Amino acid sequence: MEHLVSPSLLAADFNNLENEVLMINRSEADWLHLDIMDGVFVPNISFGFPVMNAIKKITSKPLDVHLMIIDPDRFITRFKEAGANNLTVQYEACTHLNRTVTEIRNLEMRAGVALNPHTPVSLLKNILPYIDMVLIMTVNPGFGGQLFIKESYNKIAELRRIIDEGDHKVLIEVDGGIDTINAPKLIESGVDVLVAGNSVFGSNDPVRTISRLKQLL
């Protein structure tokens, strides 16, 4: 399949948020990525339901929501109501992961599981039949603008083998330090969805940067 691009709103200008979202609407982006942080699971706080509700009213892109929070089960229904199309939870934050992703799917959202850099992909073997996407974090989650962890290429390739050998219909998404330089190798390693924050919103021409990310072979 053709790879997807999901710009991360965490890197946007929050003083100009509406225009940033409208810019994404005009672009070739496939999804709009929202990082929800609670200040407990990660050492940062981002935004919650009021901001997400406002974004949903003006975006034309599916909302790709990544929960970096403890006990995400408390809010699954509320994120559905707030407009999430994809809902990704952290492997490390879920005590009963199968139950969590099943509930996400029951609410007709794409269910994703995210792995921190230190978490091996082998732990996902038994959950792959029950999910739609794996998000590989290529930086330590919590803050934008970090350097890409180069060991992630091998991790992604290993996950790609596991998915293909099991004939699972699971997308591989990647987030953290993604730009037009490392994206080609990521796609070659097996990535289906590129999440890009600073490289998009920090560029002189974000729409063109998104187009370049989409056109990579």
Helix axes 49-58, 17-26, angle to 10 degrees: 40
When the pLDDT of each residue in the chain is averaged and rounded to a whole number, the result is 95
* pTM (2 d.p.): 0.95
Separation between Cα atoms, residue 162 and residue 141, nearest integer Å: 24
pLDDT over 90 (residue 147): no
CA angle 203, 209, 215 (to 5 degrees): 165
Residue with the two structure tokens 């999804």? 31
Residue 84 neighbours by CB under 8 Å, 6+ apart? 52, 63, 65, 109
pLDDT over 70 (residue 143): no
pLDDT over 90 (residue 148): no
Ranges of H-type helices in the chain: 17-26, 49-58, 76-81, 97-106, 152-165, 183-189, 198-201, 206-215
Instruction: List the domains of the chain with CATH numbers.
Output: 4-215 (3.20.20.70)
Active site residue 35: yes
| Per-position DSSP letters for 131-181, written without gaps between them | -SEEEEESS-TT-SSPPP-TTHHHHHHHHHHHHHHTT---EEEEESS--TT
Model pLDDT for residues 70-123, shown as the tens digit of each residue: 999 999 999 999 999 999 999 999 999 999 999 999 999 999 999 999 999 999
Separation between Cα atoms, residue 90 and residue 36, nearest integer Å: 11
Task: Give the active site residue among 30, 35, 38, 64.
Answer: 35
Q: What is the pLDDT of residue 142?
A: 65
Q: How distant, in Å, are the alpha carbons of 55, 104, 164 from that of 74?
A: 22, 12, 33
Bridge partners of residue 167, in order along the sequence? none
Model pLDDT for residues 55-73, shown as the tens digit of each residue: 999 999 999 999 999 999 9
Separation between Cα atoms, residue 172 and residue 46, nearest integer Å: 24
Task: Give the active site residue among 64, 132, 175, 192.
Answer: 175
